[in-house]
Amino acid sequence: MEINYQETSKDLLTRIDIHEKYGSANIDVWTNELLQPKAGMQILDVGCGAGKLSFLFDDYTNRQASITGGDFSDELLDKARTKNKERGSNIDFQFLDFNKPFNFADDTFDLCTSAFAIYYAADLKFTFGEAHRVLKPGGRLFVSGPLPENKQMFYDIIKEATNATIPPMPGSSRFKGDIFNTIDSIFAKTELHKFENHLTFPEVAPFIEYVRASLSEDRKLWTSMFNGKDEYEALIGKIQAVAQKWFDRDGKLVMTKVVGGILATK
């Protein structure tokens, strides 16, 4: 099944910014503590986007790991390469479509990661099979993504504002099920870890900024809820009114991100 979910890199970076600004916990710290990447490791980051995880591992290993970041968005790869240059890092950012065979030999990597990306894969068995193939024996796969209880308050506010059915999210709706089970069927050992981040918004505006960066006007995933610019703005207006009501009642808006991390060993 092809899932049309594409969004702009600006929206992604806006959300990352908001997580960092209003969050109670740092997903980078959690990721590093869980994975502890080491100097000398060969690391592949699939769906690397603008390079967030690749740079994280580069810093954590004092630039002593050999890191490859792969993505199919030229726009995001450009961003990653620019930052790579600015930092003087040596990460190899290259085109990779995770729905196609990976362009690497068998048994190449010690660690293969994918943050909020690989669960969009059209054929999970194929894509995780590729991840397994390019990992060395004993190598680890790490896949993070939203759990079903993720951002409950965000969906509750939208439901109250619109009475509409929320489109099924490609990540959270299959993370614990299909995705975990597929990985578990291919890898020798599979564990599920959990990360919680409470985002406390001290006013309504940054929450609405988050809403806009999640259901952009042009993001196909959400367009069942509106038709064109005017309906989009009307929808945002309704969401804003409900958010304001909740804020006046509670004095703040708290949205909890609940992220799962599947860690598997070949």
Shortest distance (Å) from residue 99 CB to ligand SAM: 5
- Write out the binding residues for ligand SAM, residues 224-243 only, by CB under 6 A: none
- Write out the binding residues for ligand SAM, residues 19-58 only, by CB under 6 A: 47-49, 52-53
Determine if 12 is a binding residue for ligand SAM (CB under 6 A): yes
Residue tagged 């994918």 (tokens): 114
Residue with Cβ nearer ligand SAM (28 or 184) = 28
Please state the separation of Cα 122 from the chain's center in Å: 16
Residue with Cβ nearer ligand SAM (49 or 243) = 49
Residue with Cβ nearer ligand SAM (102 or 246) = 102
Shortest distance (Å) from residue 51 CB to ligand SAM: 8
Shortest distance (Å) from residue 6 CB to ligand SAM: 8
Q: What's the length of the chain?
A: 266
- Write out the binding residues for ligand SAM, residues 83-122 only, by CB under 6 A: 96-99, 115-117, 120
Contact 259, 145 (CB under 8 A): yes
Contact 119, 178 (CB under 8 A): no
Residue with Cβ nearer ligand SAM (77 or 183) = 77
- Reported in sequence order, the residue ranges of the chain that DSSP labels E, i.e. its strands, are 42-46, 66-71, 92-95, 109-115, 135-146, 189-201, 253-265
For CA atoms 44, 47, 51, 55, the dihedral sign is negative
Shortest distance (Å) from residue 213 CB to ligand SAM: 11
DSSP 136-150: EEEEEEEEEEE-TTT
Shortest distance (Å) from residue 47 CB to ligand SAM: 3
Binding part of the chain for ligand SAM, among 36-44, 65-73, 149-157, 160-168 by CB under 6 A, reads: 65-73
Contact 206, 18 (CB under 8 A): yes
Tokens of 145: 């993504």
Residue with Cβ nearer ligand SAM (52 or 266) = 52
Tokens of 42: 């060969």
Shortest distance (Å) from residue 116 CB to ligand SAM: 4
Q: Please, which residues bridge with residue 42 across strands?
A: 66
Q: Which residues bind ligand SAM (CB under 6 A)?
A: 12, 47-49, 52-53, 71-73, 76, 96-99, 115-117, 120
